[in-house]
Chain A
Amino acid sequence: MELYIKNLKIEIDKFQLYVNDLKINSGEYVYIVGPTGSGKTLLLEAIAGFIAPKSGKILFNNQDISKLPPEKRNIGFMYQNYHLFPHLNVKKNIEFGLKMKKIRNNTFFNYIVERLNIFHILNREIQNLSGGEKQRVALARALVTKPKILLLDEPLSALDQEIKGDILNLLHKICIEYNLICIHVTHDKNEIIENSRVYKIYNGILTKEK
């Protein structure tokens, strides 16, 4: 499976973002770096379908998904602050996507919960979780509906330095394990694991860094 972004142009007010050519295959973990306000989140939101591009195409397995609404794209998304629904407990947060998509798969739900080691906090309220726990719950919520693409917007920024490394390793493992297309945007180059493919956004243009 392959995500291919071609001549994508996004315009919000006076800001413009341009992606000439970006191809990512399943199981690949790609970084996009750039300073705050450079348009990293905008690019992820365009891929997820939250904002409509002005022109260009987003192809998934050669199918143009740029006109599909977000709920039809099967893309997992994680923001910096996780945005766990505060009116639902941990279990209901994770089940949210299953409920919306009318999926009844308890086996996979249990597997993900065990895999991310959050079984013991399922009945907790969101307000009572630590940063690391919130991160895992948000990841479980994004993965439980079996997305093909996982978009991570500054996923480590809100975490303590000590657990950043563990979570980053977990994200890389999950990406390979579930054969996901993972895009991780960050302003912090220290988050990049060696030998990863890295792009940068500068002045609204995406270019390959290494």
Chain B
Amino acid sequence: MFKYFIMIISIILVLSIILPFLTVFLNVDYQLVIEIAKSKEFIDSVKVTFFAAFIATLIAIVFGTPFAYLITRYNFPLKSVLEAIIDIPQTIPHTAAGIALLLTLGRNSIIGKGASIFGISFVQTFWGVVVAMGFLSFSIYVNAVKEGFKKVDIRYEKIARSLGASPFKSFFHVALPMVRHEIITGSLLMWARGISEFGAVAILAYYPMTLSVLTYDKFQGYGLKQALALTALIFIISMIIFVIIRIIQNIWKYTESR
């Protein structure tokens, strides 16, 4: 009886996720999907979205990995505050985050003025997209890698030190390779989350248009039919990405269980 009860609950949950997908694919004009898929506007927006999310993820790897290690391995005052700060962007509305970023990085801000000396601007530019995506998805990467470091017994690193490794070498040769799966999974999840970012991106850098901004733009400018075709394309891309992530994870599980 209990089994059937939780099965029904699970089916309702799965249906609630599948239903919007099905509705889109049942109502979309497939001719228009093909047309949009071939358009320069769509291809450019795919490039901007994927590449900006990729750059944001690379930046997260460089800064987030040592941060995750610091949080896991060392005790210091206000550590829990530092951990909470990283998670803040997850808890605030993304449009609010966009406004905060606009004020912090805008042309009249100290950072904005400083960056302009090097010819970099964050408002309505590719770098703005990168920052907005990174700001809101950074914690996904950090938390994934943090969990990885937590699973690695510190004694591996102690042994490495006794064998002549400096703290740097012990980190690069022992700790880091042992969390490689978490680094890759965290990167993929952050990248995928970055791709879907809308609120902050739309406020800080409406142009160049990402896929989410383009969908909104089509909906506002051309109505539901155009937006629906674009939505169908985005669903297909998202599904491909997550299938790839699952395949990679399953390959790891298989190779590790051997």
Contacts and interface: CB of A to CB of B under 8 A. Distances in A.
Question: Do A and B belong to a common assembly?
Answer: yes
A96 B155 contact: no
A91 B73 CA distance: 28
Contacts of B160: 85, 96, 100
Contacts of B178: 85-87
B158 A100 contact: no
Interface residues of A, number: 24
Nearest to A88: B177
Nearest to A151: B162
B59 interface: no
Most buried by B among A71, A73, A79: A71
A76 B161 CA distance: 10
Contacts, number: 60
B150 to A, nearest CB: 16
Q: Chain B interface mostly helix, strand, loop or mixed?
A: helix
B163 A141 contact: yes
A97 B153 contact: no
Most buried by A among B153, B155, B165, B178: B155
A50 B158 contact: yes
Interface residues of B, number: 18
A83 B159 contact: yes
B165 A79 contact: no
A22 B216 CA distance: 75
23 contacts: A49-B161, A49-B162, A50-B158, A50-B161, A50-B162, A69-B166, A70-B158, A71-B162, A71-B164, A77-B159, A77-B162, A79-B155, A83-B156, A83-B159, A85-B156, A85-B174, A85-B177, A87-B177, A87-B180, A96-B173, A100-B163, A100-B173, A142-B162
Interface of B: 153, 155-156, 158-166, 169, 173-174, 177-178, 180
Interface of A: 45, 48-50, 69-71, 73, 75-77, 79, 81, 83, 85-87, 96-97, 100-101, 141-142, 145
Given A77-B158, A101-B163, 6 more contacts: A70-B161, A73-B162, A87-B177, A87-B178, A142-B163, A145-B163
